[in-house]
Amino acid sequence: MYAEERRRQIASLTSVEGRVSVAELAQRFDVTAETIRRDLAVLDHEGLVNRVHGGAVATQSFRTSELSLDTRSRSAQPAKMAIARAAADFLPPARGAFFLDSGSTTRALADIAAERAAVQGWSIVTNSLPIALSLAAQEVPEVQLLGGRVRAITQAVVGDTALRTLALMRADVAFIGTNALSLDHGLSTADSQEASVKSAMVTNAHKVVVLCDSSKLGNDYLVSFAPTSSIDVVITDDQAPESYLDALREREIEVVVVPTPRG
């Protein structure tokens, strides 16, 4: 596991558990206590945790910073591929329609769906420029890219044109990516315009499937775009704390946990 990925996992665990210890983290990630102390120092400097004697406690701040799509695509790759494969089980029946939200995990799902799209006759609607280009290159016949402004950092289409188009649409399933998922704040992201498009997809789909690796659980970004009551399915990896997954299940959310390769 790369240091960046381990630190994201540590930040999420701290948010979920409220407090973590150096000893517990060193055992969990199979690294030295000194490595964990360095990780906590970095996370404290970034405002993601608050260091205390022997460990760290959660910070209550809402995040506003974003990583580029290219950076996110390189992070937690095994987990994202496993999540995408599990999400494929929720693709609609033949001749159905689904929304594909912008994101690195939904991009992995798009590549899986492309292999079956022509036979299934699906209609695919996306606000992701890379996903639309990838599907077109694979000769998927029914792909609609929403119109509007393209955000450079995420390469997602946003704005009034996209929202007006989505208001006229209904889909069997919305596959949604998120920067964070918390019990109180729901699904959240850093940008209000991107949040609006995500929210419209959630509202206009019969089933909402959230693709969310465990490092995003327990975190909060500035803009909430859907409460947990809007979620039907959460697909995450086996590094997610079981107590947190149980809390999602108590809210009648189907939770799918996928194993990810170690190392």
Residue 263 lies in a domain: no
In a domain, 63, yes or no: no
pLDDT band at 105 (very low <50, low <70, confident <90, very high): very high
Residue where the block lists tokens 């240091």: 3
Share of the chain above pLDDT 70, in %: 92
> pLDDT tens-digit profile of 217-248?
888 888 999 999 999 999 999 888 888 899 99
3-state secondary structure of 98: strand
Whole-number Å distance between alpha carbons of 4 and 93: 38
Q: What is the mean pLDDT of the chain?
A: 88
Cα(46)–Cα(161) distance, integer angstroms: 36
Burial (Cβ within 10 Å: 0-12, 13-18, ≥19) of residue 70: exposed
Q: What is the pLDDT of residue 228?
A: 95
Is residue 141 one of the residues assigned to a domain?
Answer: yes
Residue-range definition of the domain harbouring residue 223: 69-258
pLDDT digits (tens, 9 = 90+) for 25-36: 999 888 999 999
Number of domains in the chain: 2
Give 137-173 pLDDT, tens digit per residue: 999 989 999 999 999 989 999 999 999 999 999 999 9
**pLDDT computed for residue 229 by the predictor:** 96
What's the pLDDT score for residue 69?
52
Residue 11 has pLDDT above 90, yes or no: no
pLDDT of residue 218: 83
Going through 127-194 in order, the beta strands assigned E by DSSP cover 143-145, 149-151, 156-158, 171-177, 180-182, 186-189
Same domain, 41 and 73: no
Q: Does residue 244 share a domain with residue 213?
A: yes
pLDDT at 170: 97
Contact 142, 123 (CB under 8 A): yes
Q: Is 150 found in the same domain as 219? A: yes
Mean pLDDT over 51-71 rounds to 68
